[in-house]
Amino acid sequence: AICSMLHHKRLSLVTGKRGENGIVIPGTEKIVEQSLYAAYDKFLFDRVKNLFNSYRFGEAKTILSQIIVFDEKEKYEELILAYDLWDKFDHKAAFERLKEVRDVRISQNKSFLGRLNHAEQNRMTFILADLLNNASRRIEEGKYDDAVARLYRTIELIAQVKLLDYGLDDLSDKKFTMDDLKEKKIDPSRYATYADDKGRLRLGLEKKFELLKDLGWEEANRIYLENKRLKDLLKKRNNSILAHGLEPVEKETAEGLFNEVKEYARIILQNIDELMECARFPEL
């Protein structure tokens, strides 16, 4: 029976009419093929759950399609597709698939996505929490280069969110301009080389933090400008294969950078831990 299950072979048993002491009466024996679909389906669904919990959504979808009888098959198809989309930052499509799914395990996730998709002024704070969670998942998978790339973007987003507090939009196509700096009483000459032909400024990471310091945000020094540890960690990112070098990122680097960035995110977003918890992927 075990071998037939493991190797997907036909399993037959011999049955018949039983007489005294439960012994089959000779001549009444017959061969019956045993259906193993229920056992196969249970085995396959356990694999689906393990794959989902490991963020291997494509494989989970493939295995789920092999299950023959499962009342909630459509529901789990939607869950897998939704979280696959979410993991790729397609928040709108993920929410559209999740909003009709009834499952207590995803209620706070649906709330988070709903607020993210419908937020206007504070949408980037939800993106910030989501980026940190995404980086955490990549660390779990051992994809340290991917994790560090997301954390670098998170640091930049911290600066961009803070610039918004000063009325300077660095996130949309309507980039802030040299004239905006003049209105803020900032000497624009330091940033003139970063302006395009329409005066819109396209600043790199360090220049963003320099501008924040000029605007009076002292945390710019602590987070980036005078933060040797963070710059050392980012240097390893710059030397990685996914950036400008050929060196792989090690686990210690990714975890260290994650802890640093999360601490700095908390400076501009005190409820970052709460938001990250609301956006944490469930376990099936």
pLDDT tens-digit map of 182-214: 999 998 888 999 988 888 899 999 999 999 999
Query: Looking at residue 242, what is its pLDDT?
Result: 66
Q: What is the mean pLDDT of the chain?
A: 90
What mean pLDDT comes out for the span 43-50? 94
CA 201, CA 188: separation in Å to the nearest integer?
A: 10
* Residue 120, number of CB atoms within 10 A of its CB: 5
* Residue 163, number of CB atoms within 10 A of its CB: 21
Return left, alpha or beta for 95; rule: phi > 0 is left, psi -120 to 50 is alpha, else beta: alpha
What mean pLDDT comes out for the span 66-74? 88
CA 209, CA 163: separation in Å to the nearest integer?
A: 9
Query: Looking at residue 230, what is its pLDDT?
Result: 86
In terms of pLDDT, which residue wins out, 156 or 242? 156
Strand partners of residue 195: 201
Confidence of residue 173 (pLDDT cuts 50, 70, 90): confident
Query: Looking at residue 196, what is its pLDDT?
Result: 87
- Nearest CA among 56, 10, 62 for reference residue 37: 10
- What is residue 130's DSSP assignment? H
Query: Looking at residue 36, what is its pLDDT?
Result: 75
Query: How many residues in total does the chain contain?
Result: 284
In terms of pLDDT, which residue wins out, 59 or 70? 59
Whether residue 29 is predicted with pLDDT greater than 70 in this model: the reply is: yes
Render pLDDT for 215-257 as a digit per residue (tens, 0 to 9). 999 999 999 999 988 888 877 776 677 666 667 888 999 999 9
Query: Looking at residue 274, what is its pLDDT?
Result: 95
